[in-house]
Amino acid sequence: MSDPSPSDPSTPAQRLAQLRAAVPTLQLRTDAEDLAWYGVDWTRRWTPAPLAVALPGDVDEVQAVMRWAHANRVAVVPSGGRTGLSGGAVAANGELVLSLQRMNKVLAFDPVDRLLTVQPGIVLEAVHAAAREHGLAYPVDFAARGSCSIGGNIATNAGGIRVLRYGNTREWIAGLKLVTGTGELLDLGRGLVKNSSGYDLRHLAIASEGTLGVIVEATLKLTDPPPDTQVMLLALPSFEVLMQVFTTLRERLQLEAFEFFTDRALHHVVAHGAQPPFDAVHPYYVIAEFASGSEAQEVQVLSAFEYCTEQGWVEDGVISQGGAQAAQLWRLREGITESIAACVPYKNDVSVRISAMPAFLAETQALLAREYPHFEVVWFGHIGDGNLHINVLKPADMDNAAFVADCERVTTLLASTLQTHGGSISAEHGIGLVKKKYLASTRSPAEIAAMRGIKTVFDPAGILNPGKLFDA
C-alpha cells in the first residue's frame, strides 16, 4: 500500500519530505534502530521495515498525518505499547508507523460521572494510579500493565485477570475520539449512560485493531476500589477437576479472579526467579482472588477449601496472609509470559463458553498430546471467562520457520475444534497477522463481508493497518 504507484514516482525520501512539509511540527524518526524498535510487537516473527516512525503530539497532528496518508495512499500502522501477540502492530512493508507514545497524559476527571479522560499513549499502570488519586479504580488489569497503552488495550478489547468480575475493556469505555482513514475526527459515545440515537460507533472502534481509525482520546469509566482480598493457590491432581473447583469457589466466595496454569508453567517461572509454593510438584494449579475481611468470609474460605480437598479435587493449598504474600503468589501466574519469552513460544489464545469448557478442554488436550508429542506445551488461562492460552515452545535446535509451520498445521485443527464448540480463535490478543487465516473459523462469510464494508466506510483508501484482520 505504501509503494509508489505508476503515476506516483516519488521515492521514500521524497515522501517523507512531503510529510514534513505537510506537518512541519511532526516528530519523525528514520534511524535504523528506531525503525526496528517501532516496527514490531511481541510476536517478533516479521522483519520490521517501516517507511518512518511518526510521533504526533496532539490530535491535530494525527489528523494532518492521516489526511496526508489518505491523499498519497501511504499505509499507516497505529502503534501503542506494542505488547500485542498477534502481529497487529507490525510494519513490515514500508508502512508509516504512527506511534501515540507522546500523547500520554490524563486530560480530565469528572467526579460526578466518575469518568477519566486520557490520551491513548498513557500506560495502563498510570491509568490505575490516576484513578487511585481520586479514590476510585479502573478495574481492567493484566501483567503488561507497566508497558501496554490504553489505546492498544481498546484496539484489542483487552481482557486480563479480572474479567470474571469486571468484564473486558469494552465495558469501561464511556467515550472515544477516533481519527478515520480520511483524517476526520469522530467523537463517539461522549460519556452518556443512555444514548439510543442510532448506531454506537464507539463499539465498532473497540477491538478493531487500528483498521478503522486512530484512537486519539478515551473517556474511561471508574468504579469503587475493589474490596479487601486474599489470594489462594491450589494444587490440583488433574485437568478434569478444574471446573468443579471453579464452580465451588464461585458459589461460595465473591471471586475477583480465577486463573490456572500447569506444572510446566510453574517450572519456567521458578527457573526465572520465583519461589516454589509447595514441596511437591503437582500437575495443575489454580490461583483465585476473592473478597475477604469479615469473620464470615474467613469461614466461607476455609469451608470451600476443605470441601474441595474432601472431594479429592485439591491436593495442597496456601492462602495469602498479607499483600506481600499475595503478590508472591500472583507472580507465579503473571510471570509466565516473561519466563518463557526466551523459548520463542507459538501462542494460541482461544475462548469458548464456560459451559462448553469441559468438553473443549478434553478434546484440545487430546489433540495437543497427539500432534505435539515432540514439543513442550505450556498452558495457562482465565478459566472463569473461558479463555485459554496455549504456548508451544520451540526446541533450541529447530529452525524457526519449520517450527511455525508445524504449529500452524495444528492450529488449523484447533480452529476446527473451536468452530465445533462455538468458540473463538482469539479471546483477547486480536487477529492481526498471526490469526488472519483462521478468522473464518470464528466469523461467517456474511460477517466478514460486513466487516470489509465497514472498513471501507471508515477507511476508503484501505491505508489503516492493511493486511491485519483480513486482506483487502
* Residue owning grid cell 516473527: 45
Burial of 106 by CB count in 10 Å (0-12 exposed, 13-18 middle, 19+ buried)?
middle
* pLDDT-above-90 percentage for the chain: 69
Q: For the chain, state the CA radius of gyration.
A: 23
pLDDT, tens digit (0-9, with 9 covering 90-100), for 318-350:
999 999 999 999 999 999 989 998 888 998 889
pLDDT band at 26 (very low <50, low <70, confident <90, very high): very high
What is the reported pLDDT for 83?
83
229: its cell numbers? 482480598
Is it the case that residue 2 has pLDDT exceeding 60?
Answer: no
Q: Is the pLDDT of residue 152 over 50?
A: yes
Inter-residue contact 229 to 260 (CB < 8 Å)? no
164 or 228, greater pLDDT: 228
Q: Are 125 and 160 in contact (CB under 8 A)?
A: no
What pLDDT band is residue 5 in, cutting at 50, 70 and 90?
A: very low
For range 252-264, the mean pLDDT: 93
In the 8-state DSSP scheme, what is residue 227?
A: P
pLDDT for 8: 56
CA angle 90, 87, 65 (to 5 degrees): 35
pLDDT digits (tens, 9 = 90+) for 96-150: 999 999 999 999 999 999 999 999 999 999 999 999 999 999 999 988 899 999 9
**pLDDT average, residue stretch 440-469:** 94
In the chain, the percentage of residues whose pLDDT exceeds 70 is 98
Most confident of 32-46, 216-230, 365-379: 216-230
- Name the DSSP letter for residue 160: B
Compare 194 and 284 and report the one with higher pLDDT. Answer: 284
pLDDT digits (tens, 9 = 90+) for 199-240: 999 999 999 999 999 999 999 999 999 889 999 999 999 988
For the chain, domains (ranges, CATH) are 12-102+454-458 (3.30.43.10), 106-221 (3.30.465.10), 229-337 (3.30.70.2190), 344-431 (3.30.70.2740)
Neighbours of 238 (CB within 10 A): 12
Average pLDDT score over residue span 13-38:
95
CA 464, 83, 56, 12 dihedral sign is negative
410: confidence class by pLDDT, cuts 50, 70, 90: confident
Say what the pLDDT of residue 19 is. Answer: 96
**Tens of pLDDT along 185-195?**
999 998 888 78
Average pLDDT, the chain: 92
pLDDT the model gives residue 41: 87
pLDDT of 368 = 87
Cα 39 to Cα 79: distance, rounded to the nearest angstrom: 9
Measured torsion, CA atoms of residues 144, 379, 342, 273, in degrees rounded to the nearest 10:
70
Confidence (pTM): 0.86
Asked whether residue 44 carries a pLDDT value surpassing 80, the answer given is no
